[in-house]
Amino acid sequence: MKSQIHFLVTVFLLLGISSFAQEGNIEFPSFDQEITLSIGNDSIAVYALIASGKEVKTTVLLLHGIPGNEKNLDLAQELRMAGKNVIFFNYRGSWGSQGEYLYANCLKDVGHLLDYLSDTNISSKLRIDTSQFALIGHSLGGGLALIKGANDLRIKKVIALSPVNYGYNLMDFTNADSLPRFQEYLGSMFMLNLNPKTFIQEIINKKDYYNLLTHRELYKRKPFLIIDDFSRIEDDWPGKLNGYLEHHIIESDHSFTNKRKELIEYISNWL
């Protein structure tokens, strides 16, 4: 009986050691942090997944699409287990975050969040290496990642998953009234606080800046990667970025639903 008890205790201890080894650090374990970030009179919801270990780490900001049903949180957990911090957030006017949902606001929110995470008190608490930020954006978020990543020196690496180039797509339009189906689509999204016509017109008014091709010379300054789904290979604008950044295609749908492991492995290796 004593030998059986001794055996069980040994097994439990070994299991505990294995669990701690996977955690990576007993004294400085991984943790999650809910953050409310104030932007003017509005507040956005931020969620931080912090990797274990005392040292400061590369921190990845995840930028979701419109409306953001695919949040890539499976990718977030894998990146954290690989030793990187991951920050997920909802732009103003989306999924309970306050304010108006505009492309301009989404882009600015990335900058506000970087400012917040770069603060010495915050970066120390969250173990953030402020010299090693990365962006991973999906769909609308992919476009945001390419624009912000090109124009913000704090960002060192950028991955865009099936990015939507709204500036390019709306280049021939001058008025939102010419896009009734797009307005109808936006109007169906109850989780977004937006005026469809205002959202579209704001993009049209700044379509040159929002055109991802506008920033292509800046893509040469740091590592940029576009991962496209197979359904988008007929789009002509990504081909105009040949020689400016890396481009990879995975034969899947817009959310890579049947190739999640392949997607995550490719991203992890590239980072």
Domain parsing of the chain, residue ranges: 30-270
In this prediction the pTM is 0.90
pLDDT of residue 236: 86
pLDDT of residue 42: 98
42-50 β-sheet, strand order: 31-39, 42-50, 85-89, 57-63, 128-138, 155-161, 224-229, 246-250
- 257 alpha carbon, distance to own chain's centre: 17
pLDDT of residue 234: 61
pLDDT of residue 74: 98
Phi/psi region, residue 243 (left: phi>0; alpha: psi -120 to 50; beta: rest), is left
pLDDT of residue 5: 41
Number of H helices, E strands in the chain: 10, 8
Taking 70 as the pLDDT cut, the residues of the chain under it are 1-25, 231-234
Angle of helix 260-270 relative to helix 73-81, nearest 10 degrees, comes to 40
Task: Kindly report the average pLDDT of the chain as a whole number.
Answer: 91
d(CA 52, CA 152): 27
pLDDT of residue 22: 41
Q: Using DSSP, state whether 114 is helix, strand or coil.
A: helix
pLDDT of residue 232: 64
CA atoms within 13 A on the CB side of 169: 13
pLDDT of residue 245: 97
H or E, element range at 131: strand 128-138
CATH of 30-270, one of 3.40.50.300, 3.40.50.1820, 3.30.9.10, 3.40.1360.10: 3.40.50.1820
